[in-house]
C-alpha cells in the first residue's frame, strides 16, 4: 500500500488535532478578545483624560462607541481564523499557527499595557 504525499488528500490539521486547534484559538480569544477589550473599556472608563493610542481603534470608538471596538476586534479575529483554517487545509503550518499565536501575543501585550497604565494612573 502506497501512501500519497499529496497535501490535498490529507485531512486538515484542525481535523487531525482538534484539541490543539481549539486551545490555540481559546488562548487568542482570552487574550485578544476578552483581555484587551475588557482592559480597554476599563481604561477608557476610569481614565477618561487619556485617549486610545491606536488610530484605527480610536476612529472605531469615536464613530460607533464600544460596539465599534468590539466589531473591529471580531472582524480581525474572523479574518485571522479564516487564514488559519485555510493554512490548515493547504497544509501550511505557518499560516495555520501564525494567526492564533500572533493574536495571543498581541492580546497579552495590549492587556498588560492597559493594566499597567490603569495601575499607574
DSSP string of 82-101?
Answer: HHHHHHHHHT-HHHHHHHHH
**Closest residue by Cα to residue 115 from 47, 20, 30:** 47
Alpha carbon distance 100, 25 (integer Å)? 6
Least confident of 5-14, 41-50, 93-102: 5-14
Higher pLDDT, residue 11 or 30: 30
- Which pLDDT score is estimated for 5? 54
pLDDT above 50 for 2? no
pLDDT at 49: 84
The answer to whether 95 and 86 are in contact (CB under 8 A) is yes
Amino acid at each position: 500500500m502506497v501512501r500519497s504525499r499529496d497535501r490535498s488528500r490529507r485531512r486538515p490539521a484542525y481535523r487531525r488535532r482538534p484539541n490543539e486547534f481549539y486551545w490555540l484559538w481559546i488562548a487568542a480569544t482570552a487574550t485578544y478578545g476578552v483581555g484587551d477589550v475588557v482592559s480597554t473599556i476599563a481604561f477608557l472608563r476610569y481614565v477618561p483624560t487619556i485617549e486610545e493610542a491606536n488610530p484605527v481603534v480610536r476612529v472605531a470608538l469615536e464613530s460607533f462607541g464600544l460596539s465599534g471596538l468590539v466589531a473591529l476586534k471580531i472582524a480581525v479575529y474572523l479574518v485571522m481564523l479564516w487564514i488559519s483554517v485555510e493554512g490548515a487545509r493547504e497544509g501550511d503550518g505557518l499560516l495555520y499557527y501564525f494567526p492564533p499565536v500572533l493574536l495571543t501575543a498581541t492580546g497579552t501585550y495590549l492587556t498588560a499595557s492597559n493594566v499597567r497604565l490603569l495601575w499607574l494612573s
